[in-house]
Amino acid sequence: MPDGDLDAFLHGRQTMALATTGPDGRPHLVAMWYGFVGGEPGFLTYRGSQKHRNLTRDPLVTCLVEDGDRYEELRGAQIRGRAHLLDDDEHRLELAYDVTSRYQGPLDDAGRAAVRAQIAKRLAYRIEVTDVVSWDHRRLPKPS
């Protein structure tokens, strides 16, 4: 997928599958809403979550964002990188506002206040992307 198309695709409203490494070495895979902070993808979670415990041991992640109902419509991106816990309120709020507005619509003052209240209970991670593999089956040659 060309870079411009990839960026537009990732800024859509798809759900991201996030894989971390569980305590037994097996993948722990969860569906996540995600957003962007400083141009990098990120997500929110709770302190007691399995993904947070996994990331404390091993910050490496693999993510999948995909779309399409039929083979010839499939498109997606595999993102690999390192998750970094955001500890400053400015970036935590930037990510929380982005995640919320992407999936629930524009935020007014009341919506922003609700996000600020909820973020106190949540952790925020940004993903330092190390590599991306993408595909778009809509670009495949059509059979004659």
Average pLDDT, the chain: 94
pLDDT on residue 133:
96
The CATH number of residue 65's host domain is 2.30.110.10
Q: Domain limits at 98?
A: 3-139
DSSP 43-67: EEEETTSHHHHHHHH--EEEEEEEE
Cα(29)–Cα(132) distance, integer angstroms:
18
pTM, rounded to two decimals = 0.91
The count of domains in the chain is 1
| 69 in any annotated domain | yes
Tens of pLDDT, residues 65-91: 999 999 999 999 999 999 999 999 999
Contact call for residues 57 and 63 (beta carbons, < 8 A): no
Q: How confident is the model at residue 98 (pLDDT cuts 50, 70, 90)?
A: very high
Tens of pLDDT, residues 2-40: 888 999 999 999 999 999 999 999 999 999 999 999 999
pLDDT on residue 3:
84
Contact call for residues 34 and 99 (beta carbons, < 8 A): yes
Q: How far is CA 59 from CA 22, 42, 51, 127, in A?
A: 11, 13, 10, 9
